[in-house]
């Protein structure tokens, strides 16, 4: 069965702008022989004729995926769509002919402008670069659907069952709360802004909430990871060697592992490990990178070395509070901060809303020569 925990909203959309940096003809041709020397004249002529249409497709995809240099086109699409849906009943019969005429004029003007502004036809390098941009933006559009590639028949059955069960709720919403027009307006705006930077960031922050993941699991029935996403070896580097002893054919290291526990004070609830989505995780290393807690701790995976074997064993029976972290001012080891994890102090007060403490545990690593 596929694992829904791999679904991460807003994966790498915002990092693809570098793929659309324009390259000069000299840069493209300097990397190798010109493409025109090895391309059929028929293909060259067809690609040159298709260049204006490819340019329009690229600009449309850039506006939809919000990967253009200026985001005004995306806002313009939202305004046009919202106005068309909102006032369709009153202006629908008049808007359709005008919109069709304007679209035809814009297409004709774009083709004529591209053809007349340049005295020389586009080179094959320029056409190939434009096709590369189009392919990259199409991949961005397809990114949310890639998770379906790993779905099994069981997963599709769960989605179908969830859709059937939610159908009465959907009908109730359309009949009692929102009509079809408002539903189309909200759904269309969400779709047009799906790839925008703020929508991507909002999905990332919301997905960090365990409540959102629990709701997603309840609605879809799929396997959603309800805890923070960590690797099998979450804090492999968060340790330090405090003692080493060697013999002829073995080496024994005493290692100390460290985990920082973070909590936030909620009014009416007190201190809790449920933190805000945009701040540090409940358990982190000293660099504030999220890691698993005590129950999900795994020893670091050691690299494979020819002729060597590695064996981990706990030296301390359990995790202990490091009282040196707060200089012994509190036996529970807490350091208290304000709402922004600033102004540390050793005493809890009404102005302190966050706190941290450090846990440590020693283990031994035995390195022996394989016999």
Give me Rg for the CA atoms of the chain: 29
Supply 274's token pair.
């449920």
pLDDT of the residue at 354: 93
Is the confidence at residue 2, as pLDDT, over 50?
no
Residues 321 and 203 in one domain: no
Residues 256 and 350 in one domain: yes
| Shared domain check, 105 and 177 | yes
| 247 within domain boundaries | yes
Q: Where are the alpha helices (DSSP H) in 208-306?
A: 210-220
In a domain, 234, yes or no: no
Do 347 and 303 reside in the same domain of the chain? yes
At residue 156, does pLDDT exceed 70?
yes
Last residue of a domain, one of 193, 226, 259: 226
Phi-psi region of 188 (alpha: psi -120 to 50; beta: other; left: phi over 0): alpha
Residue 368 has pLDDT above 50, yes or no: yes
Please give the Cα distance from 162 to 341 (Å, whole number): 41
- Write the CB contacts of 123 (distance below 8 Å, at least 6 apart in sequence): 25, 28, 29, 34, 35, 36
Lowest-confidence segment of 2-6, 105-109, 205-209 by average pLDDT: 2-6
Residues 192 and 294 in one domain: no
**CA distance to 155, 206, 277, 299, per residue, from 340 (Å):** 41, 19, 13, 32
Q: What is the pLDDT of residue 355?
A: 94
In a domain? residue 232: no
Flag whether 172 is in a domain: yes
Whether 164 maps to a domain, the answer reads yes
| Domain boundary pick from 200, 226, 252 | 226
What spatial distance separates the first Cα and last Cα of the chain, rounded to whole Å? 41
Q: Are residues 264 and 341 in the same domain?
A: yes
pLDDT per residue as tens digits for the range 18-47: 344 444 333 444 444 556 556 777 877 787
Q: Which domain holds residue 90?
A: 1-226
With pLDDT > 70 as the criterion, what percentage of the chain qualifies? 77
Give residue 359's pLDDT: 92
Most confident of the ranges 95-109, 181-195, 301-315, 331-345: 331-345
In this structure, is residue 233 part of a structural domain? no
Q: Is residue 248 part of a domain?
A: yes
Q: Which of 195, 226, 257 is the last residue of a domain?
A: 226
Same domain, 14 and 137: yes
Distances (CA, A) of 122 to 19, 45, 49: 20, 10, 9
Residues 196 and 301 in one domain: no
Q: Which residue has the higher pLDDT, 82 or 245?
A: 82
Tell whether 220 and 244 lie within a shared domain: no
SS3 (DSSP) at 100: helix
Nearest C-alpha neighbor of 299 from the set 240, 230, 228, 365: 365
Number of domains observed in the structure of the chain? 2
Selected residue with higher pLDDT from 326 and 114: 326
Question: What average pLDDT does this structure show over 73-84?
Answer: 82
Q: Report if residue 286 sits inside a domain.
A: yes
Q: How high is the pLDDT of residue 291? A: 82
Same domain, 61 and 192: yes
Burial of 257 per CB tally in 10 Å (0-12, 13-18, 19+): buried
pLDDT digits (tens, 9 = 90+) for 243-294: 676 766 778 888 888 899 999 998 878 898 888 877 888 998 877 788 878 8
């Amino acid at each position: 069965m596929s694992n829904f925990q791999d679904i991460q909203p807003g994966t790498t959309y915002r990092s693809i702008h570098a793929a659309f940096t324009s390259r000069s003809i000299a840069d493209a041709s300097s990397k190798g022989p010109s493409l025109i020397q090895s391309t059929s004249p028929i293909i060259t002529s067809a690609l040159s004729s298709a260049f204006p249409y490819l340019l329009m497709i690229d600009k449309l995809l850039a506006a939809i995926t919000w990967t253009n240099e200026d985001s005004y086109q995306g806002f313009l699409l939202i305004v046009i769509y919202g106005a068309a849906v909102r006032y369709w009943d009153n202006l629908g019969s008049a808007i359709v002919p005008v919109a069709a005429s304007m679209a035809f004029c814009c297409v004709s003007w774009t083709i004529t402008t591209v053809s007349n502004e340049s005295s020389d036809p586009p080179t094959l390098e320029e056409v190939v670069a434009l096709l590369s941009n189009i392919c990259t933006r199409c991949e961005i559009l397809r990114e949310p659907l890639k998770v379906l590639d790993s779905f099994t028949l069981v997963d599709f059955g769960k989605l179908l069952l969830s859709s059937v069960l939610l159908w009465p709720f959907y009908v109730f919403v359309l009949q009692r709360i929102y009509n079809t027009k408002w539903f189309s307006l909200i759904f269309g705006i969400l779709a047009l802004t799906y790839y925008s930077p703020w929508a991507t960031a909002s999905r990332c922050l919301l997905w960090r909430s365990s409540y959102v993941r629990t709701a997603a699991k309840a609605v879809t029935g799929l396997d959603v990871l309800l805890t923070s996403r960590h690797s099998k070896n979450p804090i492999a580097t968060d340790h330090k060697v405090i003692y080493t002893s060697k013999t002829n054919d073995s080496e024994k290291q005493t290692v100390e592992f460290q985990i920082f526990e973070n909590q936030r004070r909620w009014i009416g609830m007190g201190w809790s490990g449920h933190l805000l989505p945009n701040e540090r995780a409940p358990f982190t290393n000293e660099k504030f990178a999220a890691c698993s807690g005590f129950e999900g701790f795994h020893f670091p995976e050691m690299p494979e070395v020819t002729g060597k074997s590695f064996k981990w064993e706990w030296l301390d029976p359990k995790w202990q509070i490091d009282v040196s972290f707060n200089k012994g001012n509190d036996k529970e080891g807490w350091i208290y901060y304000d709402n922004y994890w600033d102004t540390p102090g050793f005493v809890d007060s009404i102005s302190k809303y966050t706190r941290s403490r450090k846990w440590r545990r020693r283990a031994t690593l035995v390195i022996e020569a394989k016999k």
